[in-house]
Structure 1
Amino acid sequence: MAKKQVPPGPPIADAQDAGKGRLKIIIAIAVAFLLAIGLSIGGTLFFLDKGDDKAAEQPAEAGQTATGKPAAIYEVLMPAFVVNFNHKGRQRYMQVSVALMSRDQLALDALKGHMPLLRNHLVMLFSSQDFAALMTPVGKEMLRQQATSSVQELAQKEVGKLAVEQVLFTNFVLQ
């Protein structure tokens, strides 16, 4: 009797076991990938919700800072102020962008009605300065303080209360 010859090679059972092993690895990788995505989304939502809790713990009154003062309100005066000087026989110019800082929106709104008068006071103040003094940081700070007191006096006179806490220079150019 002749036996049937089986070609040499891996047995059929070993090939099936190898296929199942690869399938298990692929499934494990897919589960790990989905778990990583789930943890990422969960962590993001957890931290975003935690930020909302901090906002709820802040003072109940809107517009309050941590120190208890009302929040600052800024009013930018546009266009920028441009004045000219005659310095040592040469024509010189100064351009100043001004912002008003207040903590009372109603008083600031009342002052807006007097903006032409306020701008006139500031132009007269800026044009009466000495060009050489304005070239120093001390001179610029002195001008800012003078502008603040001038605006505060005008607000007290026209509105009846201190509407502006500070006058700020947001741009200052000398030429």
Structure 2
Amino acid sequence: MLAKAENPAATTSFADGTRIAFAAWRVVRRASHQLSALTGALAPSAKDEVFMVDEEQPEVVSDAPVERRSRMPLVIGVVVVLVALGAGGYLWQSHRAAHATTGKVAAVELSKAELYLPLEPAFVVNFRDNDSLRYLQVGVTLMSHDPEAINVAKAADPVLRDGLVALFSNQNFSIISDVAGRQKLQEQALVTVRKVVQARLGRPGIDALYFTSFVMQ
């Protein structure tokens, strides 16, 4: 099984955001040129200044500045809106890309075949049963489809053995002497192993634990 390819959502979204920002910049630039042209067209010429001081046309002199002032806020408002739209589009694309990236979990490369790891040598512990001292020998083998989990278990062998010895030596003879008791002990041993692998690999990794030998005296 192959690991899932890296999701290109973050790269695509960043490119989309860049295009939006560039388009907004072009619109702003075009609006700036239009604003400059409009301002130049609205600016009074020398002829207009002479005309403005003509006492015979007072109405024209008073109305022209009002028209220029009324158009300027409208043009500036359009430019501000265009800039805000471009920036908003870029931020939205970036936010969506971040969520898409964090929502994806890297796939684990698993083996189709079952991988086994015997924990050798077998475990030998003593435990008390009422006033008697009992002896227990257990052979343990781990199984997984995750090669990384097997490697982690190999590297953590001393930690695994310490946890399992503590578990085996804390048993009651009357409980583990029957099948149900041994199955429960087997489940507890698997939980112990998975905790160690989880702490190092970030996932339990081990699929099963088998008792290959189980001797009590």
What TM-score does the superposition give when structure 1 sets the normalisation length? 0.59
For residues 59-105 of structure 1, what are the alpha-carbon distances to aligned partners after superposition, in whole Å with 9 as ceiling and x for unaligned?
Answer: xx7xxxxxxx7211110010000111111211110100000001111
- The equivalent residue for 1:49 is none
- Match for residue 151 of structure 2 among 109, 123, 131: 109
SS in 1 for 2:161: helix
- The equivalent residue for 1:120 is 162
Shift of 1:149: 1.1
* Aligned-CA RMSD value: 1.7
Letter in 2 for 1:97: G
Are the equivalent residues in 2 in contact too, given 1:118–1:154 (CA < 8 A)? yes
- The equivalent residue for 1:7 is none
For residues 48-69 of structure 1, what are the alpha-carbon distances to aligned partners after superposition, in whole Å with 9 as ceiling and x for unaligned?
Answer: xxxxxxxxxxxxx7xxxxxxx7
Shift of 1:163: 2.0
SS in 2 for 1:96: strand
Count of residues paired in the alignment: 109
Higher strand fraction: Structure 1 or Structure 2? 1
Are residue 91 (structure 1) and residue 133 (structure 2) matched?
yes
- Match for residue 70 of structure 1 among 108, 112, 122: 112
Separation in 2, partners of 1:89, 1:110:
40
- The equivalent residue for 1:171 is 213
Separation in 2, partners of 1:111, 1:160:
13
Ranges in structure 2 where 5+ consecutive residues have no aligned partner: 2-110
Are the equivalent residues in 2 in contact too, given 1:111–1:158 (CA < 8 A)? no
SS in 2 for 1:74: strand
Shift of 1:111: 2.3
Shift of 1:129: 1.1
Letter in 2 for 1:170: T
Shift of 1:172: 0.3
Are residue 150 (structure 1) and residue 192 (structure 2) matched?
yes
Shift of 1:150: 1.2
Which of structure 1's runs of 4+ aligned residues deviate more than 6 A?
Answer: none
- Match for residue 80 of structure 1 among 111, 114, 122: 122
Shift of 1:146: 0.5
- The equivalent residue for 1:25 is none
- The equivalent residue for 1:64 is none
Separation in 1, partners of 2:120, 2:190:
17
Ranges in structure 1 where 5+ consecutive residues have no aligned partner: 1-60, 62-68
Shift of 1:141: 0.2
What TM-score does the superposition give when structure 2 sets the normalisation length? 0.48
Letter in 1 for 2:137: Q
